[in-house]
Structure formats: structure tokens, C-alpha cells
Structure 1
């Protein structure tokens, strides 16, 4: 395996010059930099992470903290993980994914030991217990998800309230009066998933403003309960002409459920939802929907975090919402 001495010999420079080129601690000429880069590529040299950390006080690693709950639908979370890891690699950062059930201890462990330069927090809850140790950490952080208290935090999220209003307005303009809303499972609300009630409460408020009947129901996240729940809801609300689905597992299962019932969209039932485009392609979803934009959220969070790592005084903390965009796929009438 090639080392710094091999790179220095191939480039015709001193070992210290290679070290300066890798760490950026001293300026070197463009010509010298190009020779070193060519030698690195030719020899397949990889910088030792420990040595780089000693030289630069940076690990070039971001911590990604999340939890996989057994009672949730993993494909939705994977959309965010992919977006964040892709954005990190584009900026030459690696990802240390931490799924410790006790998040506060995990944050203290990886920050006090300087394992990472910064942290991206997923699966954020309303009163997230990971936030106090995160605020005390030397390393900066970016949250994908809105907590109750955003003080001293950089936060990125979809505007779920506006997404709800957008979908209800769309159905109102088409003349629908009786609308079903399938929300995330009850346990998401109980765990403090604020996005769930932000969407539900805004939808109920907008429906009331329009004089519509909006019937909220908890959905499920695991089979066979998903299909059983959807069928029970549709049977109970047989008078409804439109369906809003804010539940990834339920929308993924909906095409099969409607085919089995002989329900034709939009002739018999108008359907709207919110999910990422890639998620929709994976499950062949033909529904008019708000794009939840995990790629944009992940990219914004990582880019902002890396700027904060480079300059701890990079502006005040931000709370930034992605504006929802409705894509009409012809599932409403």
C-alpha cells in the first residue's frame, strides 16, 4: 500500500510538501499540487483518517443519528439517508451512521471523542431528548425535522402545514365535500412526530374554512394491518369522494387495495398524497402528490453544516422550510 513517502518520491517533492498539500496548512504552487495529485491517483494513495485528523483537527466525517423503529416503514427513512450520504460524499465527507436507541448517550460519545466534525439529526421529535447534549457539543449540527424549541439550532424541514393546505385547496377547487385523511400511525403522534399533527391540524383547519367534511383516521405501518385499516376506513366513509394519504406505508399499499375493491381512480375516488418522486417510482404510485423533497432537505442540511464546520461564526442559526410543490398526475377529478 502506498504511503506519503511513495507519493513524495513519485511527485519529486519532500514528504512535508505532500503533507502540506493534504492538510492545506501551507500554500503550495499549482504546478506542485498537480504533480502531487497525479502521483496520488497513479499510486492509489488514500489518506489515513487518523493522520489527517492529527494534521488538520478534522476527521472529514459527519455523524448521522437516527432510529429504526420496528413499527415504522423503512423505505421512507432510506430516502433521507441516501440524500444525506450523497450530499456528504460530494463534499468529501464520510458518514458515521449511529442508530443507538439511547440517542443522548450516542451524541455525547461521538462528540466528546471527536469522532465526527458535525452531526445530522434525523427522526426529530417535538421534545427530542437528543437536543440538550447536542447544544453542549463542540461540533455543529443540522436537523432534518422541526422540534418544539429551535434555539441555537439549524433546522431544515418540509412545510407540512402548507402541504396540507395545498392538497385540501386542490380538492376543494374540484368540488369535493367529504374527504378522508389517513394520517401516520397513532404511535408516531405519541412519540412526538410533530410533522404528523402539523399536517393533520392544518388540513382540518383548512377544511373547516372551506366548509368541508374532513374525516381523520390513523393509518398503519405494517402488514396485514395496513390493508385491513384502509379497507375499514373506506367502508366506514363510503360517502367520501376524495382521499388524502399522509402515510408512506398506506400509500404504497393503496393501489393493490383499490384494485381489490374494484375502485377506479379518479372515477370513483380522487386520491392525493405526499411522498418523494423516487419513492413513487419504486412503488409505481400514480397519484397527484406533494413532493416531500428528501434530496433537497438532505443537501441543504449537509451543505449548511459543512459551512458551519469551516466557519463556526457562519451567520445566525436558521429554520428553513422547503416550500411544497404539487405534481398533478391525474388522480383527481
Structure 2
């Protein structure tokens, strides 16, 4: 394994000079620093994490709390994880993935052991039991997901309330007066998945305001259940002309359901979902959608966290709550309803 001594020898300097050139603890001439950096690149030297932690009180490691829950669509969760880990790597940080069922205990354990510099939380619930310990430890934290109480943490999420309104408004503007909204399974709501009811409640309020008949259903997140659910909803409302999807599994299953029913989009049924461009490409989905912004949320969360860790944001500065405004990516699946 390459050591700092090897780097020093290759650069023609002492160990201490090589160390100071890399840490910035003492001024080193640009010429010497360049020689040290060239030796680092040539030898493939990686500083020892333990030694770095002793020197700087930082580990350059972020803890990412994420769980793959059986009744949620796993590929969607991977997009959020990728956004976090890619950005962390670009900023010089490694990521420790934590899926412990005891989230509060894991936060206390990792903070007490000084294994990580900060925390990123996914799967955020309305009343999330990880927030109290996160606020009490001496490490900053950011959330991808909006809890009921945002005190003491930086929060980044899609504006799901605005998304629900936008879905209904857009379809109404095209002339649709009867719609079906398909949400995540009810278990997600019982766990505190507030994004489900935030979108559904505002969609219903906007539908009532506009005189739209909106039928709201919870559905399975995977086959065969989701396919059966979609058939059942369409059977129950044969005059509905628009389908709104806040369920990635439903979007992935819908092409097969439409083919089985002999329906075409948007001639027979207009469709809008809520998922990312990456998701649409992965599953070859032709449906218009509000971008879930998974990658952007991960990037914003990690950048904010690293700025706090590295002191670019004052410790006393107010915490951020950033809700990304919804944007529709039109793939041609929405049009005026068929003439009666």
C-alpha cells in the first residue's frame, strides 16, 4: 500500500512537508505542492481515513439512511440513492448506506462513534422517529422528504401539493371532467408517507373547485396486484377520460393493461404520472409526467450538508426548506377527451 512516505520520496520532500502540502495546515510553496500532487496521482495514494479523522476531526463519510420497503417500488428509491451517492463522490465524500430498522439508535451509534460527518435521510415520514435524535447529535443532517416538523434540519422535496393541483388543472384545461387518481398503497400512508396524501388532498380540492369528478384509489406497487387494480378502477369508471398516477408501479404496468383493454393514449385515455425522465427511459414509458426530481433533490441535499460540514454555512444560519416546483414533461399522452 502506498504511504505518505512514498509520496514524499517521489516528490523529493520530507514526510511532514508532503503531509502539510496535502492538508493545507501550513503554507507550502506552489512548486512543492505541485510536485506532491503529481506524486499522489502517479502513485495512486489515498490518505488513510483514520489518520485524516484524527487530524481534521472529519471522516469524509456521509451516512445515507434508506430502506427498501416491500410495498414501495424499489427502482424509484434507487434514483434517490444514486443522486446522493454520485454527488457525495463528486465532493470527495464516501457514503455509508444504513438500512437499520432502528433508525434512531443507528443515528446515535454513528454519531457517538464519530464514523460519519453528517446524515442524509430518505423514506421520511410525517412523524419521523429519527428526527429527535438527529437534532440532538453534533452532526448536521439533511432530509429528502418533508416531515411535519422541519425544525433543526435542512429539507428538500418535490412540492407534492402543487403537483396534485397541476395534474388536475392541466387535464381540466384540456376538457376532462372525470378522472381517476391512483396513489401508492395504503400501507405507505399508514407509515407516514405524507407525500401521498399531500398530492391526493390538493388534487381533490382542485377537482372540487373546478367541478371535476375525481375518483381516488390506493393501489398495489407491483405485479400482479397493480395490473389487477388498474383493470378494476377502469371497469368501475368507464366514462373517466384521464388517469393520474402517483404510483410508479402503476405507470410501469399501464402499457400492458391498455393493450389488454384495446385502449390507446391519448385517443381513448389521457395519462399523466409522477416520475423522473430516467424512470421513463428505463421502462420505456410513453406517458407525460411531473418530474420527481430524484437526482436534483439528492444533489441539493448533499451539497447543503457538505456546505454545513465544511463551514461554508454558519452553524447559526437558518435551516432550509426547499420544495421544487413541479414541471410537466410532455410525451404526448394528454389531449382533449374523445367526443361523446
TM-score by length of 1: 0.98
Q: Distance in 2 between matches of 1:27 and 1:207?
A: 65
| Greater Cα offset, 92-101 or 304-313 | 304-313
Counterpart position of 1:23: 23
Counterpart position of 2:228: 228
| Greater Cα offset, 197-206 or 22-31 | 22-31
Give matches, 1:4-15, under 5 Å.
Answer: 4-15=4-15
| Greater Cα offset, 24-33 or 301-310 | 24-33
Counterpart position of 2:319: 317
Q: SS of 2:292's equivalent? A: coil
Q: Distance in 1 between matches of 2:285 and 2:124?
A: 27
Say yes or no: does 1:76 pair with 2:76: yes
Give matches, 1:88-167, under 5 Å.
Answer: 88-167=88-167
Q: SS of 2:32's equivalent? A: helix
User: How far did 1:256 drift?
Assistant: 1.2
Structure 2 residue runs without a partner (length 5+): 336-340
Q: SS of 1:244's equivalent? A: strand
Deviations 1:232-270 (A, max 9, x none): 111111110000010011111111111111110011100
Q: Distance in 2 between matches of 1:73 and 1:293?
A: 16
Is residue 244–residue 271 contact of structure 2 (8 Å, CA) maintained in 1? yes
User: How far did 1:167 drift?
Assistant: 1.2
Q: Distance in 2 between matches of 1:275 and 1:222?
A: 15
Q: Distance in 2 between matches of 1:22 and 1:113?
A: 26
Counterpart position of 2:248: 248
* Candidates 287, 306, 329, aligned match of 2:331: 329
Q: Distance in 2 between matches of 1:66 and 1:148?
A: 19
Say yes or no: does 1:210 pair with 2:218: no
- Number of corresponding residues: 333
User: How far did 1:221 drift?
Assistant: 1.2
TM-score by length of 2: 0.96
Q: Distance in 2 between matches of 1:194 and 1:30?
A: 53
Counterpart position of 1:50: 50
User: How far did 1:172 drift?
Assistant: 0.4
Is residue 183–residue 196 contact of structure 2 (8 Å, CA) maintained in 1? yes
User: How far did 1:22 drift?
Assistant: 2.6
Q: Distance in 1 between matches of 2:325 and 2:334?
A: 22
Deviations 1:92-113 (A, max 9, x none): 0000000001111111111111
User: How far did 1:222 drift?
Assistant: 2.5
Alignment root-mean-square deviation, CA = 1.0
Q: Distance in 1 between matches of 2:70 and 2:178?
A: 34
Counterpart position of 2:168: 168
User: How far did 1:21 drift?
Assistant: 2.4
Structure 1 runs of 4+ with >4 Å offset: none
Deviations 1:16-43 (A, max 9, x none): 1121223222222221111111101111
Q: SS of 1:124's equivalent? A: coil
Q: Distance in 1 between matches of 2:282 and 2:70?
A: 21
